């Protein structure tokens, strides 16, 4: 299987993670006008599973280092599989809740709050689990990224006030808080099922990144039959959705959702692959800079801030500066 052998390459993989985690939402935006999120999410999960299988039989099976995908999966212990499955279940619950919160409280409240909490708590949890890197630089970088996310939220809030009015409400805020706390734990459970100390000669029963991301996606898929079915029947916003509506979607609509799942899975796989060299805390922190990538899409591609005021433009500029500075500190923390 392919293994990252140095820190510089691990950082590149983490940056790819950030790009993927911050970009998959574009596929949802493409079909959002005539396709409910609950229906999109099924294709998203299916795409995630299919891509992890493809990744396992390509990068996870080529070369002579470590165990191949099938070999690694077949020897995995029940406890390792259980930890990674649990990570998938927790991620799925948090991702669905965060999306529901966005629909209730708006991007300016839900996304910075939910992902900001996930970033801070997640880095703490992963650092305690596997201490690696310079803690001062790491947490200073995380703090700057949090400030950048806050600037992003403030800029979005200023734009929404004139166009839609205040969309924040108690229910959305509570859901965002729960989503953020849940999201901060999923990565640690996945890493618990892997032997990140040595992907070349992993301990018996432990998994390597390629089998772990596949098992993770199965956890997401299985839990989706529970979580997404409940949300479809009792949606946080709008009318309930039936499974019959899913099968009425066009090929391009379904393909868009599957592409979104594949993009997210690629980012996650690269994060797990990089964790052996960068450490879980650094890998997770870099990946959770995704809200800023999403902001770049919103500003320069979707023109969400077109015609904005000077104060909004100043917040956006400060956001990008803080993000770049935070990213530099996080990268330096692992050297």
CA separation for the pair 140, 117 (Å, rounded): 15
Asked if pLDDT for residue 188 goes beyond 70, the answer is yes
Burial class, 74, CB count within 10 angstroms (exposed 0-12 / middle 13-18 / buried 19+)? exposed
pLDDT at 28: 85
pLDDT in tens, 76-96: 999 999 999 999 999 999 988
Asked if pLDDT for residue 165 goes beyond 50, the answer is no
pLDDT in tens, 257-266: 999 999 999 9
pTM beyond cutoff 0.75 = yes
pLDDT at 90: 96
CA separation for the pair 63, 47 (Å, rounded): 26
Question: What own/partner pairs with CB < 8 Å and gap ≥ 24 does 228-234 have?
Answer: 228/38, 228/41, 228/42, 228/45, 228/96, 231/38, 231/96, 231/100, 232/38
| Highest averaged pLDDT of the listed ranges 73-82, 150-159, 271-280 | 73-82
CA geometry: angle 59, 193, 175, nearest 5 deg: 100
pLDDT at 108: 53
Q: What is the DSSP letter of 194?
A: B
Q: For residue 270, report the phi and psi dihedrals to the nearest 5 degrees.
A: -65, -35
pLDDT mean over 33-60: 94
Chain center to CA of 146: 16
Asked if pLDDT for residue 267 goes beyond 90, the answer is yes
CA separation for the pair 98, 167 (Å, rounded): 15
pLDDT in tens, 195-253: 988 898 899 999 999 999 999 999 999 999 999 999 999 988 789 999 999 999 999 99
- Of 2-16, 41-55, 156-170, 192-206, least confident by mean pLDDT is 156-170
At residue 289 the predicted structure's pLDDT band, cuts being 50, 70 and 90, is: confident
Q: Mean pLDDT, the chain, as a whole number?
A: 88
Of 114 and 320, the one with more pLDDT: 320
pLDDT over 90 percentage in the chain: 51
pLDDT at 221: 98
Chain center to CA of 194: 19
Asked if pLDDT for residue 50 goes beyond 80, the answer is yes
pLDDT mean over 273-277: 91
Asked if pLDDT for residue 163 goes beyond 50, the answer is no
pLDDT at 320: 87
Contact in structure between 73 and 211 (CB atoms under 8 Å): yes
| Highest averaged pLDDT of the listed ranges 33-42, 133-142, 217-226, 312-321 | 217-226
Q: For residue 194, report the phi and psi dihedrals to the nearest 5 degrees.
A: -115, 155
């Amino acid at each position: 299987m392919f293994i990252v052998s140095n820190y510089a390459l691990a950082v590149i993989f983490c940056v790819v993670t950030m790009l993927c985690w911050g970009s998959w939402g574009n596929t949802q935006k493409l079909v959002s006008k005539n396709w409910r999120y609950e229906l999109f999410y099924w294709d998203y999960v299916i795409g995630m599973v299919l891509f992890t299988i493809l990744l396992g039989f390509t990068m996870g099976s080529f070369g002579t280092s470590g165990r191949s995908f099938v070999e690694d999966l077949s020897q995995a212990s029940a406890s390792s599989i259980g930890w990674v499955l649990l990570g998938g279940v927790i991620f799925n619950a948090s991702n669905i809740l965060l999306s529901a919160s966005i629909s209730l409280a708006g991007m300016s409240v839900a996304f910075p709050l939910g992902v900001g909490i996930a970033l801070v708590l997640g880095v703490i949890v992963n650092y305690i689990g596997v201490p690696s890197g310079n803690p001062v630089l790491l947490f200073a970088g995380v703090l700057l990224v949090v400030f950048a996310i806050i600037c992003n939220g403030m800029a979005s809030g200023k734009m929404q006030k004139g166009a839609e009015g205040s969309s924040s409400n108690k229910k959305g805020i509570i859901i965002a808080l729960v989503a953020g706390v849940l999201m901060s734990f999923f990565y640690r459970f996945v890493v618990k099922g892997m032997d990140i100390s040595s992907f070349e000669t992993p301990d018996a029963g432990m998994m390597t990144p390629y089998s772990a991301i596949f098992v993770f996606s199965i956890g997401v898929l299985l839990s989706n039959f529970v979580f997404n079915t409940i949300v479809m029947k009792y949606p946080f916003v709008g009318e309930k959705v039936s499974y019959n509506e899913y099968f009425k979607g066009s090929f391009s609509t379904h393909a868009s959702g599957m592409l979104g799942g594949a993009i997210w899975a690629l980012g996650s796989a690269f994060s797990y692959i990089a964790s052996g060299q960068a450490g879980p805390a650094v890998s997770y922190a870099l990946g959770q800079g995704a809200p800023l990538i999403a902001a770049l899409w919103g500003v320069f591609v979707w023109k969400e801030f077109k015609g904005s005021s000077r104060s909004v433009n100043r917040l956006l500029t400060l956001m990008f500066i803080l993000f770049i500075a935070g990213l530099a500190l996080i990268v330096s923390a692992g050297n």
